[in-house]
Structure 1
Amino acid sequence: MTPRSALRRYMLVNFLTWLPLGLMLPVMVLLMTERGLSLAQVGLVTTVFSVVTITLELPTGGLADVAGRRVVLAASAAFTLAALALMAVSTTVWMFLAMAVLKGVGRALSSGPATAWYVDTLHELEGPDADLGRGLARGGAMESVALCAGVLAGGFVPLLVPPGPLPPLAVPAAGGAVAAAVLLVVALLALPEPAREHASAVTARGLLRGVPATVGEGVRLVAGAPVLRRLMLVAAGSGVALTAVELLTPGRLAELAGTAEEGSTAYAIVAALGFAGSAFGSAMAPRAARLAGRVTGAGGPSPVAGAVAGTVLTSASVGALAATAGLGGAAGLITAATAYVVLFAGLAVAGLLCLEMTHKAVDAGRRNTVTSTSSLALQGGAAASNLGFGALATGAGTVAAWSVAACLIMASALLFVRMPRTSPAPAPQVRSGSG
């Protein structure tokens, strides 16, 4: 395998991992309500998915570090395939709840193994000083491309497909199942497991001992490494930014469009544009680091300065949403959509460069556990913001919630001040649970 072929496989896996989510996004709630679920039951299904994902985030990260990236990614594809096939035919709340459990397991399993596989493979091919930025940027861009394409397809396919064995709203779920099946085949056949230090044959006893030990090592590493502690807090700040737009933008667009139905169409289009902005930001992240390095006199690419620029751009975009909240009609729609797109571009630049710093600060044996911790921090920031911004917007208005969010995101840029170096922490001499 060559670095170029490894990158192509990584990009393909990222596309196939995120395409099902994009396909489901516009129709999932509508499908459940069409099948007779109340909004309260839809909320219960969504909550079950979130709880399962958060609960399994760290254990599945440890599993990928112990059992290997390929097997965990294949298991993720299998669970996602089962979940989406069940979604397409579900007719009761219990079937949808079972779907949510399967989908939550698949989502937790998919958190990090593809990126960990690519980084390990590149290190094997080019050594520990391999340039990660270019490949991670292209992989991140493919995630956003998949979401953008999926949202557009999932929103328009039900309008084009005639009634048949599956109702039109179930067709995107079936398409997502097909994408998951392709991912399963790719993971099993096209992702050879790279050699990793301290890796050993996987046994049931080894998993039972090794996964908790690896999770513990990863959590202790995050708690004891200043650079990782800061990056986890930055991830929580990203959760704040995402909540600020995902919770409050749909209502703003519905207000501007005139009706809830027109607002949902406007949001689908704006969301697709946002994913396109995210793809652009991911692709531009290495260039942003190089430009920031020249501006700051770093003598080379500066991921830290580039991440600061992306964070400031994100904060400014949320501030622009607050500043233009008084506009109506086409002007309001255009400014809201523009701020949304720029926000996702800035968030992608900062997130991609933080991901690069994270992988430089951790060894292969705990790589997936640490990235799962970052994902958990993002979800934690989003969960807290959902409660806080919801209450603030209800009591003081959307402008107040967006203003507070902009200030919190700007404050998170201070975490990059005097950022410690990102050299990997030494791996433990003896791996627990090597079986």
Structure 2
Amino acid sequence: MTTTTRYLVLTTLRWLPVGFTIPISILLPVSRGLSLSEVGLAFAAQGLLVLCLELPTGGLSDSWGRRPVLLLGSAFGIAASTMLVVADSFPTFVLVWALQGVFRALDSGPLEAWYVDATLAANPDAALEKGLSSGGAALSIAVASGALISGALVALDPPDGLNPLTLPAVIALGLVIVSTIGVATLMTEQRPRDTRLGVRDSIRAVPAIVRQGVGLLRGNRVLLALVSVELFWGFGMVSFENLTSVRLAELTDGPNAAAALMGPVTSGAWVTSALGAATIVLLSGRIGVASAAIILRLLQAGAVVAMGLVGGPAGLVVAFLAAYCVHGASNPLHMTLLHREVTGEHRSTVISVNSMAAMPASALGVIVLTALADRSSIAVSIVVGGVVLALAAPLYLPARRREQHLQLASQLDTTDVSTSEAQARKP
């Protein structure tokens, strides 16, 4: 089995249980007696822990290894999924999302870093965007499939004594266990002996690795610009991830009609995201990864602005699907450019820094755009989010210049080699 195949299988196994839990993530705790405000507070435990642990766990992955960190994270994932099946009070749901937060922090980056390290070790000139695009497609298909099956299971009569909302959680637990077995059996990691550290030494090395990883931003304009893209991306994503259902309610007969539409529309969005991720290499292969990233950022901004300007639900849904399609296509290109700027020594740490940049930006986006919606309208708020997304496009220009420089150098090297070979053949 090739490295890419292993990566795609593990990505699918990782995200399939997420698809099963998305439709019930709020409904299940509410059905067990929690208020919406309590659900929000329980969710906050996950966000807080991810924010606090994102960088340290990225450093741990760089010092200890990708595989052991993923296995450790999987143990927390199994614990969180088990608690989700049986949780029946506010404290137990806080524990569910706290465990989930530790899992998400440990899980963020190691699999992708392992794939990139293994691919570049086999071929330093490998086109990373192809494998990462396939991974993005696999992720989206897994989430969409899980969500559709989960919704169908809830609609069916479950076994006697089992809450319909509990059945997807039980299946998700089984899938998390399967995913853990997959990591243990399919993920092989070859690390030089002089870089292997024990658990204690790995933990001691984390602060230094984190400092070095963050320090890379100060000395690399391209890397700093790429991470800065996440600030605008995280802010602007709120406009189509959080405000679409409210905008749809405005354009239909109210919240109930919007809720009925959002289920299949959301599943369709993940499918279009997979389509975008799977096909973007056709564009990036022709014009370059950075140039394609610039175009996609502008296209997504245009789609989001259209969401605010359209006058009917059909137009809103089409624009929403377009935004998600571009979203799925954008991520593998962005990550390819990011991986080009770092080595395996700090790869997971830099992925964590990139991920962390989006978190406060997204939180700020929720505050600003919802406040703007209250003072003006949802349509205006969505348009502003689209404009902010467009502001990220120029931040890819340093990466574009770097890519063009490397392409020119490669062409000159090829010309020199051809000239030398021609001269050597002369009598």
- The answer, yes or no, to whether TM exceeds 0.5 is yes
Q: Which runs of 4+ in 1 moved over 6 A?
A: none
Secondary structure at the counterpart of residue 402 of structure 2: coil
Return the match for 1:307 from 286, 290, 293: 293
TM-score (structure 1 length as normaliser) = 0.89
Report matched runs for 1:235-246 at 5 Å.
235-246=230-241
State whether structure 2 residue 331 is matched by structure 1 residue 351: yes
Q: Tell me the SS of whatever aligns to 1:421.
A: helix
In structure 2, what is the equivalent of residue 52 of structure 1? Answer: 49
Q: Tell me the residue number matched to 2:266.
A: 271
Give the structure 2 partner of residue 409 of structure 1: 389
How far apart, in 1, do the equivalents of 2:245 and 2:398 lie?
Answer: 38
1:252 aligns with 2:231: no
Report if aligned partners of 1:20, 1:179 keep a CA contact under 8 Å in 2: yes
Distance (whole Å) between structure 2 residues aligned to residue 47 and residue 230 of structure 1: 29
For 1:76, the aligned partner's letter is G
**Which of 174, 177, 184 does residue 173 from structure 2 map onto?**
177
Alignment-mate amino acid for residue 54 of structure 1? L
Distance 2:299 2:12 in 1: 26
Shift of 1:241: 3.0
Q: Percent same amino acid among aligned pairs?
A: 31
Identify the residue that residue 228 of structure 1 maps to in structure 2: 223
Corresponding position: 1:93 with 2:86: no
Contact kept, 8 Å, 1:241 with 1:314, in 2: the verdict is no
User: Residues of 1 paired with 2:391 and 2:202: CA distance?
Assistant: 41
Rate the CA distance shift 1:388–1:196 in 2: closer, same or farther, 3 A.
farther
**Partner secondary structure for residue 347 of structure 1:** helix
Question: Paired residues, what number?
Answer: 404
Note the C-alpha offset of 1:368: 0.4
User: CA offset at residue 36 of structure 1?
Assistant: 0.3
Structure 2 unmatched runs, 5+: 407-427
Which residue of 1 is the match for residue 59 of structure 2?
Answer: 62
User: What is residue 390 of structure 1 aligned with on the other side?
Assistant: 370
- Once the two structures are superposed, residues 78-126 of structure 1 have per-residue CA deviations (whole angstroms, 9 ceiling, x without a partner) of 2112111111111111110100110011111111111111111112222
The alpha-carbon distance between structure 1 residues 244 and 413, as it changes in their structure 2 partners (threshold 3 A), is same
One-letter amino acid of the counterpart of residue 162, structure 2: L
Task: Structure 1 unaligned segments of length 5 or more: list them.
Answer: 294-301, 425-435
1:336-361, CA deviations, whole angstroms, 9 ceiling, x for partnerless residues?
11111111111222221110011111
Counterpart of 2:145 in structure 1 is 149
Q: Partners in 1 of 2:38 and 2:162 — Cα distance? A: 22
Contact 2:222–2:398, Cα closer than 8 Å, also in 1: no
Task: Identify the residue that residue 374 of structure 1 maps to in structure 2.
Answer: 354
CA distances 1:170-221 after superposition (whole Å, capped 9, x unpaired) = 11111111111011111111111133596223241x1232111111111111
Structure 1: how far apart are the matches of 2:76 and 2:257?
34
Please, which moves more after superposition, 254-263 or 407-416?
A: 254-263
2:209 to 194, 214, 223: 214
For 2:53 and 2:193, the matched residues in 1 are separated by: 25
Q: Does residue 421 in structure 1 map to residue 417 in structure 2? A: no
1:202 counterpart residue number = 198
Q: Distance in 2 between matches of 1:262 and 1:179?
A: 32
Structure 2 match to 1:121: 118
Question: 1:124–1:194: 8 Å Cα contact kept in structure 2?
Answer: no
After the TM superposition, which residues 131-150 of structure 1 pair with which residues of structure 2 at under 5 Å, given as runs? 131-150=127-146
Residue pair 2:158, 2:167 contacting (<8 A) in 1 also: no
1:248–1:197 distance in 2 versus 1, CA, 3 Å: farther
Which of 1 and 2 has greater Rg? Answer: 2
Deviations 1:57-98 (A, max 9, x none): 111111111111111111222211211111111111111010
TM-score under structure 2 length normalisation: 0.91
Contact (CA 8 Å) 2:57, 2:106: kept in 1 or not? yes
Task: Give distance in 2, aligned partners of 1:103 and 1:215.
Answer: 23
- In the alignment, does 2:138 pair up with 1:158? no
Question: Which structure shows the higher helix fraction?
Answer: 2
- Higher mean displacement: 19-28 or 367-376: 19-28
- 2-structure distance, mates of 1:385, 1:271: 21
1:25 partner SS = helix
